[in-house]
Chains A and B, each alone.
Chain A
Amino acid sequence: MNIVGKNIPHDSAITHVTGSSEFVSDIPKLNNEVLVDFFQSTEAHAEILNIDLSQAREIEGIIGLYTYKDITGVNKLGPINQDEVLLAENKVEYYGQPIVIIAGETIESINKAKKAIKVSYKPIKHILSIEEAIKEESYLLTEQVIQNGDIEKGFFEAENILEFSVNIPGQEHFYLETQSAVVYPLENNSYKVISATQNPSYVQSSIAEILGVPYSQVIVETKRMGGAFGGKENQSAHPAAMAAIVASKRNKAARIKLSVDDDMQTTGKRHAFLNKYKVAFSNNGLITTLSAELFSNGGYANDVSTSVMERALLNAENAYYVPNFKAVGKICKTNLPPNTAFRGFGAPQGVLGVEQVIENIALFLKKDPLEIRLLNLYRSDKNNITPYGQAVENNTLGLIIKKIAESSNYYEKANQINNHNKSNNATLRGISCIPIKYGVAFTAKFLNQASALVNIYTDGSIQVSTGATEMGQGVNTKIKQIVAEEFCINPELVKIMTTSTEKNNNTSPTAGSTGADLNGSAALEACKKIKKSLMRFASEALFPEKPDIKDIVWSYEGIWHSKYPENIISYNDLIKTAYFNRISLGERGFFITPTVDFDKNTGQGRAFLYYTNGAAVSEIEIDRFTGDVKVKRTDILMDIGNSINPGIDRGQIAGAFVQGMGWLTMEELKYSDNGQLLTHSPTTYKIPGINDIPEIFNIDWIENDTNTLNIKKSKGIGEPPFLFGISVFMAIQNALASISGEESVQLNAPASAEKVLSKISGCIIIV
């Protein structure tokens, strides 16, 4: 009767379906509450000559206008380097950059103020693209390198060498709930902040530093988010800090919620990358040497660009063994909002690149790309050491590909598709199988820590507080299951509390697919402490002569002494009795991820606790005349260890895949020449709708209980399946390859109908 592994509904499912789940903007307004918004730069890069607020001040309903000069603490923030400003000082560095905070009684008054604020600029030359940044040598921080073997020797001995670049697009998070926060001033210059954030501790420290108060005077709470995907890992701090400034100046509750358009235009996105490759391979397609230079578009400040780049480099070989390997990463400084965390966190950019390497090798050798993939795949016995020195343990990749090739009928389909493309003049079809190997853990070692507070009340019900934030991914449900199982009780007795910096201090962001791993483990630690004292108490109560906790049996039926099973005591009675006997019924658990030890300076070490693996096969069809792409079928097979909650994991797989598919097929960020995002709402920025998902969509996983390193032998699942979107992208190229002859079919993602059609037009004349 295990609870872990069961398909219990999402912790918030019932309140979600009744519309009673409370998000930040649903919290009832206080009478004296004010609205907060900001005035944005209309230049990508410029000196600010003058800010004229005189007219805006006169507007009825405007109760505060604040520039950087009004900041009492520091005008600085940033999760790694503190290289951002909250409000522009003497210059602006991206279009949309906040310059003035506006506090008003109504939206109408704020809109009037936005029109009345006059800022004059002296434009400076700006850089938007990676190419321009490379030309101008505009980089953030220093380059990062991961290498192994001898690439010079490798290229010298090569049978074949290919060199090419891969352009990889950015992506908007498009969480449905935009950035939002409400700040309540408390007595004595203290603040309570309700923020839609993946990172309450970062919001806390940012606000404290900006207001110039000790961290202890700022409480940040996060009940839930309406989606986040990395976009609320750091950039939720900015709006919250703006509201905090207003709250501190006016001593009133202050609320901010960005419009979709402002959110999209002013916050960072997935990093666009430009990857340059040189690859050496044998005549049968075995890769011997890979040299990669990865450039990311960082925006004007670091945010977490260095960590994103690190993960891109750590995934730059995906599931393939490369004996001679060198990957160098450089972050371009451009005049865009700082690009930030987004599901996959650099891995998709690293993996898409190397998968393009495989495709190009296959095209060059006129072989099926899957043959090249299998040839280079990490083995279990040998060829299983990554370029950063970590062994790929319990490797299930070979098994997974074998199984999915069978269940999806890959080889027969590939044949049929070949025939179809020769005979059909209206449509082209393509298929692709992509394996993934995704390391789970923060590569910044210190982040691999978590705390949890577990309190049992005298009726036996339990409150659990952790640093995990719920953004829909189901982390709270998994923690609930872990705690309920530990006490052998009905999960309904376990309540996961609002995440609060008051309960858990110095928490890591809920990110990197580690939410349940870290916080579930910390909660388990706390449970074990309580359970130990309860068992000691039970052993004393049940057998006072010779108390020994080893004799206590704790089960779903109750708690008893192994020698006196008839003296069974229920969980509830035990709790009650323990209370009257002054036994502590609350504990704090602390957890650090074992074994991880990656050295950023050498680029070597155990970067990850384990790998989540899988493979996907996608089939697509292209309309030869319009370039429209339809996804006919996708099969996904994963190794997710022992799933804590299969229903939730299935949802993560489906959702991540569709998001990844959107990234590479239809989501297109277009900017004006002066750096204004033109696709800033769902009218112009298209995420997949319900009709865009594969017509046939199969999701499955294999049995694997070898992941003993992680909580309940489970594996992190939030990000890895995002990479399966690559299978759709490569299936499109596969289709194009059938008519291309010698031409390259390499596409720049997203593979919009426009780009697909231009490839078709470039290949042959139809009819």
Chain B
Amino acid sequence: MRNFIKFYVNGSYYQVNCDNAFKPLSQFLRENLYLTGTKEVCCEGDCGACTVLVGKSNGGEILYKPLNSCILYVYQLDNTHILTIEGIKYSENLNPIQKSIVKNNGTQCGYCTPGVINTLYSYFNNLSVAERPEEKQVKKALTGNLCRCTGYEGIIRSALDVKPCDVKKINMLYPQESLEKILLKKILDEKTETIEISNENQKYIKPSSLEEAINEKTKNTQAKILAGGTDIHVLSNKKDIKPEVIIDISDLKELKTIDIKNDFINIGAAVTIAESEKVFGHYFAEFYTLLEYYASPQIKNVATLVGNIANASPVGDSIPFLMVMDAFVEVIGKNGKREININNLYKGYKTLDLSSDEIITGVKIPLLKQNETLKLYKVSKRKHLDISTFSAAFKIKLENNIIQDFSFVLGGVAAYTIKMKKVEEFIKGKEATEDVFVCAGKIIEEEISPLSDVRGSKEYRIDLAKNILKKFYLDIQQNYDQSEAALTDKELS
């Protein structure tokens, strides 16, 4: 067992324990390492000013991803290489992205700039030399970086002016040999170690096996399970809510799996949204498209699908999808394994039907069957990088324009995501016509009683619920044939 975290920052090795391990990385960088290029603004993962690159070993190669360092805590950093704005210059010269930002007025006040450059570095790091940067992709990459000065125009021009062949891959900038000791040798050759770190108020446990995790959870029933931490750490930063015990499952091999078996996609609890994007691209193009609006890359790179399920927000973006698909949530506790249909999981606002010793280990999603179509909708104040005001999921089975089966779920209209059973019953068996969906809209009013909050009024949510049925009807009329065509690999890249 180890009682410290070991990692690299810009090529230098650090071991950290006690209080420092319980700090947000942004704070550790600024206060302990005096690397003040990383800016702290919102401290809730919503502005990207603190974006750093986090390198982790993946089959011998280190992959770097942009992450928000304000909601990434030091204890999550074991066996990583952190790159900050101070670490991505080319020895004494500016790198091509920096040069282009200087030349094309991609910076004004400079406060968002380090985060923007780190995100762009990651974008170019993943481009092959033959590719050219594309505006759409640049925008997608920078979804999580807010800028209040430039209107983004200069940033986009800067990015498009960079030649990928001029950008050194990070692994060339930091030859892996220099990090070998920790990052490669230890990870690849040695058995995973259990880590346990404590300070005055908190205890962090990183078990080395699922079995150990279950034992710890049984011992500490109040313990919080941590995978990405994108919710837990916002609460810690903003509301000073700090779990006494944290069990980190993010590196458990047993939970890092994605596979397809017997017409089910199985996604482990430690699989990040970004890691699961590809499989959804192949089997659920509709959900893959939704993932574009789901969150910023910085969040998707660390947040997990199971985390979204466990957080149980009434506006959780994946939940309507999983509910119409009748996905199963896999759970392990001291009494063994069980599977729960996600439609039976939620019992109230942020309340799950789990016992205190149980851990969600994964989710099992049935594939679409013949003649089944899936449609997903998300409505938010800002299209990208926003929490939903309202969400909807439909699964329909049409044969000769007769609705053989119909599954319909709404988010944002109740304390938790709910299935519209009355509407489902009304629609099933009918012919798919405008009238049916307009009439269904009238039933919906009886079935939901949304609240008014900062994101939208009750009336708005009721309007949306009615309209989404009409929109769905229109969409299936237009797109029924191609809606579930799998995306090609190129589209997914």
Q: Is the CB of A471 closer than 8 A to any CB of chain B?
A: yes
| Chain B contacts for A471, CB-based, 8 A | 109
- Bound CA span A657–B105, Å: 16
Q: What is the number of residues of chain B that contact chain A, defined by CB distance less than 8 Å?
A: 80
Is A659 part of the binding interface, using a Cβ–Cβ cutoff of 8 Å?
yes
Query: In angstroms, how far is the closest chain B Cβ from the Cβ of A674?
Result: 15
Asked if A691 lies at the interface with its beta carbon under 8 angstroms from chain B, I say yes
Whole-angstrom CA separation of A186 from B154 in the bound complex: 43
Is A753 a contact of B459 with CB atoms below 8 Å?
no
Of A472, A624, A666, the residue contacting B381 (CB under 8 A) is A666
Contact for B385 among A9, A21, A681, A689, CB less than 8 A: A689
Q: Flag whether A72 is at the interface (Cβ < 8 A).
A: no
With contact pairs A28-B34, A224-B110 given, residues A690 and B139 touching in the complex (Cβ less than 8 Å) = yes
Q: Are A752 and B42 in contact (CB under 8 A)?
A: no
Q: How distant is A580 from chain B, measured CB to nearest CB, in Å?
A: 37
Whether the Cβ atoms of A650 and B105 lie closer than 8 Å is yes
B43 lies within 8 A of chain A by Cβ:
yes
A-B contact number at CB 8 A: 235
| Majority secondary structure of chain B interface residues (helix, strand, loop or mixed) | loop
Instruction: Given the known inter-chain contacts A472-B108, A648-B105, A693-B151, please indicate yes or no for A176 contacting B454, CB distance below 8 A.
Output: no
Option from B153, B384, B464 in Cβ contact (under 8 Å) with A697:
B153
Interface residues of A in 228-274 (CB under 8 A from B): 228-229, 259-261
CA distance A659 to B377 in the complex (A): 28
- Interface residues in A750-764 (C-beta closer than 8 Å to B): 752-754, 757-758, 761
* Interface-located stretch among B84-92, B217-225, B258-266, B422-430: B84-92
- B108 lies within 8 A of A754 (CB): no
| B382 in the interface (beta carbon within 8 A) | yes
Within 8 A of A (CB), among B37-55: 37-44, 46-47, 49
Chain B neighbourhood of A224, CB < 8 A: 109-110
Given the known inter-chain contacts A176-B39, A655-B149, please indicate yes or no for A18 contacting B456, CB distance below 8 A: no
Q: Shortest Cβ distance from B121 into chain A, in angstroms?
A: 11
What A residues does B438 contact at CB under 8 A?
A: 767
- Chain A residues, Cβ within 8 Å of B454: 668, 670, 678-679, 684
A227 to B113, CA, bound (A): 12
* CB-defined contacts of B155 to chain A, threshold 8 Å: 690
Distance between A332 CB and nearest chain B CB, rounded to angstroms: 24
A626 to B94, CA, bound (A): 45
Chain A contact residue count (CB 8 A cutoff): 82
Contact B109 A17 (CB under 8 A): no
**B 316-357 to A, binary, CB cutoff 8 A, 1 in contact else 0:** 000000000000000000000000000000000000000000
Q: Summarize A's interface: helix, strand, loop or mixed.
A: loop
Bound: A474/B180 CA distance, A: 44
Does B5 lie at the interface of the complex (its beta carbon under 8 Å from any beta carbon of A)? Answer: no
1/0 contact string of A423-449 vs chain B (CB within 8 Å): 001100000000000000000000000
**Interface: B101 (CB within 8 A):** yes
The reply to whether A689 and B110 contact each other, CB–CB distance below 8 Å, is no
Q: Are B109 and A683 within 8 A (Cβ)?
A: no
CB distance from A550 to the nearest CB of B (A): 40
Query: What is the minimal beta-carbon distance from B91 to any residue of chain A, in angstroms?
Result: 12
Which of B47, B113, B149 has the most chain A CB atoms closer than 10 A to its own CB?
B149
A691 contacts B105, C-beta separation under 8 Å: no
- Decide: A626 and B84 in contact? CB cutoff 8 A: no
A601 at the interface (CB under 8 A from B): no
CA distance A670 to B113 in the complex (A): 29
* Contact bitstring B131-166, A, C-beta under 8 A = 1, else 0: 000000001101101111111111110000000000
In the bound assembly, the distance between CA atoms of A690 and B123 in angstroms comes to 15
CA distance A54 to B145 in the complex (A): 44
A689 touches B148 (CB 8 A): no
Q: Looking at the assembled complex, report how far the CB atom of A108 sits from the nearest CB atom of chain B, in whole angstroms.
A: 9
Decide yes or no whether A544 CB sits under 8 A from chain B. no
Judge whether B98 and A17 touch: CB under 8 Å: yes
Residue of A173, A690, A757 with most partner-chain B CB within 10 A: A690
Distance A296 CA – B90 CA, assembled complex (angstroms): 52
Q: Closest B-chain residue to A683, C-beta based?
A: B46
Contact of B150 among A26, A625, A654 (CB under 8 A): A654
Contact call A767/B460, Cβ cutoff below 8 A: no
Q: Are B109 and A693 in contact (CB under 8 A)?
A: no
Chain B residue at smallest Cβ distance from A761 = B463
**Given the interface contacts A15-B110, A471-B109, A691-B139, does A259 sit within 8 Å of B43 by beta carbon?**
yes
Give A15 to B111 CA distance when docked, in angstroms: 11
CB interface residues, A 649-683, toward B, < 8 Å = 650-651, 654-659, 666, 668, 670, 678-679, 681-683
Whether the Cβ atoms of A651 and B150 lie closer than 8 Å is: yes
Q: How far is the CA of A426 from the CA of B240 in the complex (A)?
A: 45
A659/B151 contact (C-beta < 8 A), A16-B113, A757-B467 known: yes
Question: Within residues 370 to 398 of chain B, which ones have a CB less than 8 A from any CB in chain A?
Answer: 377, 379, 381-387, 389
Q: With A and B bound together, what is the CA distance between A22 and B471 in angstroms?
A: 51
Task: Decide if B117 is an interface residue (CB 8 Å cutoff).
Answer: yes
The interface bits of chain B over 80-124 (1 if a CB of A lies within 8 angstroms of the residue's CB, else 0) are: 000011100100001000100111110111111110010000000
The answer to whether B146 touches A17 (Cβ under 8 A) is: no
In B441-464, the 8 Å CB interface with A consists of 454-457, 459-460, 463-464
**B468 at the A interface (CB under 8 A):** yes
B282 at the interface (CB under 8 A from A): no
Q: How far is the CA of A508 from the CA of B142 in the complex (A)?
A: 37
For A625, list chain B residues within 8 Å (CB). 464, 467-468, 470-471, 474
Across the interface, B86 reaches (CB within 8 A) one of A12, A18, A650, A692, namely: A18
Known: A628-B383, A757-B463. 15 other contacts (CB 8 A): A15-B110, A18-B37, A23-B111, A176-B39, A261-B238, A650-B154, A666-B382, A682-B44, A687-B146, A688-B382, A690-B155, A691-B384, A757-B460, A758-B459, A767-B474
Q: List 22 A-B contacts (CB under 8 A).
A: A16-B113, A18-B86, A18-B94, A176-B146, A227-B108, A261-B238, A472-B110, A473-B108, A625-B468, A625-B470, A651-B105, A655-B150, A655-B151, A659-B151, A688-B151, A692-B383, A753-B379, A753-B381, A754-B389, A754-B456, A757-B463, A761-B467
